[in-house]
């Protein structure tokens, strides 16, 4: 591989600068993405057509010169493969017309390999992208954490307080655990095939971890994330990003994961104090910093890089906002690429 | 005062049990509230009519036997008094038809006493409620923290990532500070008059603190909260509730505040370890625990009470969800009232 910087850092090597990529880099920030997106019927056509998914996955590597590509897809392909179709509604986000309410609903879902069988288009997209990248940079795969997927399957959409998902957890904990188990088995089968198709690292996104108390996170989320990490780590490095689970960073770091992702509210100093200078951390600039002018972005970014020190994969603390100016994204990437640890 | 338990705890006294109240207790969980609400034109009529605000404020004292009443009002009366009208849209929440974008928009706002002059209906509601309560329990007043109010004034509504508010903070920090200053001056004048009218304690709600990085919280939020607390503390005890500002609990506790409110994601053990056993803390059961069955609610609540120990005001970690069963709310209140620290 021509640029394996990210994989070397994930394996614990010291490098002269941190690698950099952005969550949602293959998306609306790029004019070439918007051009393709406007020429087709919708978001799902992009996800489900390997040639298109491949094309938009490689766009940020061409345009931004980032150190990794992340396969263009969605965490909601898993519930869909299990039997729960979603729709992507413009400017509102995903909607599930049918949601999970009863034990019978859960019993009817596919799980494990049977669910993973339905995602051939993802494996094809990964294999094609891997070939087209031709070793330029690593290709990242990903999946949602089981709690976050459960939340979507039960709520049917994003939520302010996730009261439907939590109702299930508090009123029918066995049902919640049965569903979490099915999602976990499906996700393991899915990620294994993604790695077999060519993904060089997998990231598990627990986007909604921050709505759980410490007790609930450790009961309903972390054990399932750990199972996935344990199953995948022999095959590829694993990144766990449980956004806003500030109370459980050590528990996450002690699981079978190579990289711990941090949201922007987690002070880097605190994370380093808890996890040590050798743990590989990913993050964590506030995506809204990219609304500032370029000198200000450079200042915030450099400060972050110095505070993390080495064993760091530079990224934002969450997905890049769709209305971020392209110049700002480039300034962020270029600042990281010009940085040297010797500069300290 | 017949029941001054909450005020004694706020002043640092040891008591035989913690006092209990709920954020949003005067609301949709009560059938008698829904009856009144359905008989009038809308939410704002309730807020702006002292006799109605008084009636719904006292309802939970009658029905739930809580240890405090909190004046029925809204944090958005402050931007309205400053010149920015809001509308309360059923099942969507508040909307500001006009938002703050420019220095000229900020310059046109009223501030300080001139803004507070427009809120006579609140002072009248407080005075009437104080008289009608006739010393049964303390009456709490409240206001939004300046950052949370700025976020509403700039976004015009709730938001997922508060990108408009943060754009202002990153692109025009002086403008953001000018607006925060105007909100702070208005809030101080307002809360002073609320105390003069009869509020026995004031709580400052920074509902959106959790979207800020530590640096931004300490730049754009905490300094203004501290100014309000400093101005009010000579007149009444002050509670600061900066939800999810887990990184700055010590800084909050060291300001002029008598009580620190905790959201449900903050582990009680961590808060006690950081702030000591003598700091008065308020919170912090996950509101969704009240979806569980009654024995489960009792178990979670008792566990929480034991972990806090004394110097604690029992509450949820955020407002009670409108669809919470009344029985569950009563179980929570009754569990606290039956608890004795000697039971440990």
Digit-coded pLDDT (tens) for A64-83: 999 999 999 999 999 999 99
Residue in A210, A214, A265 nearest the CB of B267: A214
Whether B266 is covered by a domain: the verdict is yes
Stretch A43-53: mean pLDDT, rounded? 96
Look up A28 and say whether it is catalytic. Answer: yes
Two tokens, residue B284 = 């912090």
Q: What is the pTM of this model?
A: 0.96
Peptide bond into A210 cis (omega under 30): no
A-chain residues within 8 Å CB-CB of B291? Answer: 163, 166-167, 170-171
CATH number, position A195: 3.20.20.210
Two tokens, residue A26 = 């293959």
Catalytic one of A67, A74, A244, A258? A74
Please choose, from the candidates B235, B274, B231, the residue with its C-alpha nearest in 3D space to the C-alpha of residue B255: B231
A265 and B244 within 8 Å at the Cβ level: the answer is yes
A114 CB burial (10 A radius; 0-12, 13-18, 19+): middle
Please choose, from the candidates A60, A57, A59, A61, the residue with its C-alpha nearest in 3D space to the C-alpha of residue A70: A57
Whether B344 is covered by a domain: the verdict is no
Q: If residue A206 lies in a helix (H) or strand (E), which one and from where to where? A: strand A201-206
Full residue range of the structural domain in which residue B249 is found: 5-339
Q: Average pLDDT per run of 10 along chain B, which is 344 residues long?
A: 97 97 95 94 94 98 98 97 93 91 98 98 98 98 98 92 94 97 98 98 97 97 98 98 98 97 98 97 97 97 97 98 96 98 68
A-chain residues within 8 Å CB-CB of B270? Answer: 247
Asked if residue B259 lies in contact with residue B10, where contact means CB atoms within 8 angstroms, the answer is yes
Interface predicted TM-score (ipTM) of this complex, two decimals: 0.94
How far does the CA of residue A229 sit from the closest CA of chain B (Å)? 24
Stretch A296-307: mean pLDDT, rounded? 98
- A-B CB pairs within 8 A amount to 89
* pLDDT of res. A161: 84
Stretch A182-203: mean pLDDT, rounded? 98
Residue recorded with tokens 């950052």: B147
Query: Domains in chain B: how many in total?
Result: 1
Q: Which of A286, A297, A318 to mutate to test the interface with B (most CBs of B within 10 A)?
A: A286
Residues from B in contact with A at Cβ < 8 Å: 158, 160-163, 166-167, 169-171, 210-214, 216, 244, 246-247, 264-267, 270, 286-289, 291-293, 296, 317-318, 321, 323
A264 and B171 within 8 Å at the Cβ level: the answer is no
* pLDDT of res. B158: 85
Look up A37 and say whether it is catalytic. Answer: yes
Phi-psi region of B12 (alpha: psi -120 to 50; beta: other; left: phi over 0): left
Whether B28 is covered by a domain: the verdict is yes
Q: Calculate helix-pair angle for B146-155, B163-171, nearest 10 degrees.
A: 110
Please choose, from the candidates A269, A263, A338, A264, the residue with its C-alpha nearest in 3D space to the C-alpha of residue A307: A269
């Amino acid at each position: 591989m021509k640029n394996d910087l990210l994989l070397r850092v994930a394996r614990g090597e010291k490098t002269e600068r941190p690698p950099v990529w952005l969550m949602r880099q293959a998306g609306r920030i790029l004019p070439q993405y918007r051009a393709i997106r406007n020429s087709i019927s919708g978001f799902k056509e992009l996800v489900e057509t390997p040639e298109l998914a491949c094309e938009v996955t490689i766009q940020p590597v061409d345009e931004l010169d980032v150190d990794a590509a992340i396969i263009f897809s969605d965490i909601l392909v898993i519930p869909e493969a299990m039997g729960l179709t979603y729709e992507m509604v413009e400017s509102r986000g995903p909607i599930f017309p049918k949601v999970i309410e009863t034990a019978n609903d859960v019993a009817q879902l596919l799980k494990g390999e049977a669910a993973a069988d339905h995602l051939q288009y993802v494996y094809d997209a990964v294999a094609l992208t891997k070939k087209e990248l031709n070793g330029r940079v690593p290709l990242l795969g990903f999946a949602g954490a089981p709690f976050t997927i459960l939340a979507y399957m039960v709520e049917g959409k994003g939520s302010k307080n996730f009261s439907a998902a939590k109702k299930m957890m508090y009123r029918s904990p066995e049902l919640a655990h049965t569903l979490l188990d099915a999602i976990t088995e499906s996700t393991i089968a899915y990620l294994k095939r993604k790695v077999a198709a060519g993904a060089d690292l997998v990231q598990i996104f627990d986007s909604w971890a921050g709505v759980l108390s410490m007790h609930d996170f450790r009961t309903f989320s972390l054990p399932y994330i750990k199972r996935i990490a344990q199953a995948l780590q022999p095959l590829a490095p694993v990144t766990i990003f449980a956004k806003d689970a500030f109370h459980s960073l050590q528990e996450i770091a002690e699981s079978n994961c190579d990289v711990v992702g941090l949201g922007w509210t987690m002070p880097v100093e605190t994370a380093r104090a808890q996890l040590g200078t050798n743990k590989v951390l990913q993050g964590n600039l506030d995506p809204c910093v990219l609304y500032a002018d370029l000198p200000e972005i450079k200042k915030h970014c450099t400060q972050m890089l110095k505070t993390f020190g080495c064993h760091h994969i530079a990224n934002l603390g969450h997905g890049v906002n769709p209305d971020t100016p392209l110049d700002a994204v480039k300034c962020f990437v270029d600042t990281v690429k010009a940085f040297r640890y010797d500069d300290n």
